[in-house]
């Protein structure tokens, strides 16, 4: 089977070097056989101008997408999550019919107060307050006056998967709790949209930031409950940190790809640098993604975050010594 990966930017800001590195690695692992998916379901945070900018950035870095290689920047509808809401809703409904999803009227505060459990990647663990409490969304709303969210009723055996960098992981449902499938503001959750898309789009390998390691268990659980296939391979890669030791974020405007481009950085330098910082090549040298395909090897990938220093930026922007 030909591997199929994906590049899945969230257009809530400009892409930065950290995003670019994850995309480059995902692209190299799949030898360019990737789908592009714009993850813009969080409507309050996403803007079309950021989608446009993300496409420009990926073209600049020559991360051409298999699907849209011949087209201009027009994206097929199925590449844009916000145009697939009905599809996600249909899957929510089948989960609800099977008793695998239930309405939840808890506020953030209710959950904070009820939960003494440790916080995980998505915040406090939901204590299950609304499990079995409401017949349906109408019942929930009539009794509380609140529009409910929908949660995944997560029980049963642990989810076991293999991460190419971290080895075997066993995640017991109770450690993460019932997570949100559909938000109170009537939008699908990230977990549902990605779980459905990875399965329906036939994605075989997922490479993304290490912050999403535990979400893999949630997404596999959704896929199982829906009787859908899961990607066969997973790799959760380290971050690039800024000089303050913080994960690079969209607030670091100066380190956005657009800003680097405008400051005169050369795309081949950026890709070569990213490949070096990830452990794929011994010294930083300008190279295109295509030229780097042969260098990719999961075993070479660094397990540590990379701290970006001024000297690195000097090399990227002016070719000065590091």
- With vertex at residue 194, the alpha carbon angle to CA 192 and CA 196, rounded to the nearest 5 degrees, is 65
Sign of the C-alpha dihedral, residues 180, 196, 43, 118? positive
Cβ closest to ligand GLU, residue 19 vs residue 105: 19
Task: Write down the least CB distance from residue 82 to ligand GLU, Å.
Answer: 13
Task: Write down the least CB distance from residue 75 to ligand GLU, Å.
Answer: 15
Binding range to ligand GLU, per CB under 6 A, among 4-12, 87-95, 134-142, 169-177: 4-12
Residues 110-129 that bind Zn ion (CB under 5 A): 129
- Is-contact 306 277, C-beta < 8 A? yes
Cβ closest to Zn ion, residue 137 vs residue 307: 137
Select from 41, 79, 104, 275 the one that contacts Zn ion (CB under 5 A).
104
106 counts as binding Zn ion under rule CB under 5 A: yes
Helical (H) or strand (E) element with 260: helix 257-262
212 counts as binding ligand GLU under rule CB under 6 A: yes
DSSP letters, 38-51, are B----TTT--HHHH
Select from 28, 30, 96, 194 the one that contacts ligand GLU (CB under 6 A).
194
CA distance 158 to 175: 10
Task: Write down the least CB distance from residue 64 to ligand GLU, Å.
Answer: 19
80 counts as binding ligand GLU under rule CB under 6 A: no
Sign of the C-alpha dihedral, residues 212, 117, 41, 134? positive
**Non-local CB neighbours of 222 within 8 Å, separated by 6+ positions:** 95, 152, 181, 191, 192, 195, 196
Interface residues toward ligand GLU, by CB under 6 A: 8-10, 39, 194, 208, 212
């Amino acid at each position: 089977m030909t591997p199929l990966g994906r590049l899945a930017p969230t257009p809530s800001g400009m892409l930065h070097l950290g995003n670019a590195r994850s995309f480059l690695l995902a692209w190299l692992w799949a030898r360019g056989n990737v789908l592009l998916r714009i993850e813009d379901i969080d409507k309050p945070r996403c803007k079309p101008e950021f989608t446009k900018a993300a496409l420009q950035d990926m073209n600049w870095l020559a991360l051409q997408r298999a699907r849209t290689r011949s087209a201009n920047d027009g994206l097929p509808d199925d590449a844009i999550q916000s145009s697939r809401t009905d599809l996600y809703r249909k899957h929510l409904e089948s989960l609800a019919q099977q008793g695998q999803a239930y309405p939840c009227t808890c506020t953030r505060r209710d959950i904070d107060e009820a939960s003494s459990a440790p916080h995980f990647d998505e915040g406090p663990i939901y204590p299950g307050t609304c499990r079995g409490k409401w017949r349906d969304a109408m019942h929930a709303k009539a009794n509380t006056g609140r529009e409910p969210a929908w949660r995944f009723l997560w029980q049963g055996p642990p989810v076991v998967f293999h991460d190419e960098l971290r080895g075997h992981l066993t995640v017991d449902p109770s450690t993460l709790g019932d997570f949100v499938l559909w938000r109170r503001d009537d939008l699908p959750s990230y977990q549902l949209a990605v779980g459905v898309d990875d399965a329906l789009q036939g994605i075989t390998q997922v490479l993304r930031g290490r912050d999403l390691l535990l979400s893999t268990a949630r997404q596999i659980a959704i896929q199982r409950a829906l009787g859908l296939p899961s990607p066969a391979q997973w790799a959760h890669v380290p971050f690039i940190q800024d000089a303050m030791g913080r994960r690079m974020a969209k607030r670091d405007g100066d380190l956005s790809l657009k800003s680097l481009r405008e400051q005169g950085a050369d795309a081949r330098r950026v890709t070569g640098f990213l490949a070096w910082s990830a452990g794929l090549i011994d010294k930083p040298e300008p190279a295109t993604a295509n030229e780097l395909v042969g260098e990719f090897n999961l075993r070479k990938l660094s397990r540590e975050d990379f701290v970006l220093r001024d000297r690195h930026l000097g090399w990227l922007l002016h070719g000065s010594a590091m």
